[in-house]
Amino acid sequence: MIYISANTTTDVPFTLFEKTTYTGLTGYVMQLYSNQNHDNTYFWLTGDTTNNNARYNYFPINISPYNLIGGTYDYFIYQSTGNTGTTVVVSALTVNNVVESGLCTIITTGSTSTTYSDPKQEFTFN
């Protein structure tokens, strides 16, 4: 599980290189799927800060522009040969492009308690 702060930039470690198969790789796209409201958010991972990216990668992640709520998310990281501009072409992402996936918790500080209702269960986050 990875942890990302909603209000600051968080350096997050990944192991992307070992599963990357594209020779013309231009970047990675991260998808966050909310387990609370079932929304998807996509953004480019840029600025790898490691000297040894054959073993691991550290990416600075700032999610504040996306207005995500605190809670748990499934994350998927896709390899891409597309443009690394600001727009992510979601239709170009396939399951064959996934190089890492897992769980992510977004931590908000100073937030009040919020309850999300679902027909099957109820979630409360502080």
Torsion angles phi and psi, residue 68, rounded to 5: -85, 145
The pLDDT of residue 93? 79
The pLDDT of residue 111? 47
Structurally, the chain folds into a number of domains equal to: 1
DSSP structure string for 61-100: E--GGGTPPSEEEEEEEEEE-S--SS---GGG--GGGEEE
Q: What is the dihedral of CA 110, 36, 76, 104, to 10 degrees?
A: 40
Structural domain that includes position 53: 2-125
CATH code at position 38: 2.60.40.10
Reported as a single tens digit per residue, the pLDDT across 84-93 is 666 787 777 7
Model-level pTM greater than 0.85?
no
31 within 8 A of 93, measured Cβ to Cβ: yes
Reported as a single tens digit per residue, the pLDDT across 33-77 is 999 999 999 999 988 898 888 888 999 999 988 889 999 999 999
Q: Considering only CA atoms, which of 19, 10, 76, 8 is closest in space to residue 42? A: 76
Report the distance separating Cα 76 and Cα 29, nearest Å: 8
Asked if residue 116 has pLDDT above 60, the reply is no
Asked if residue 110 has pLDDT above 60, the reply is no
The pLDDT of residue 1? 92
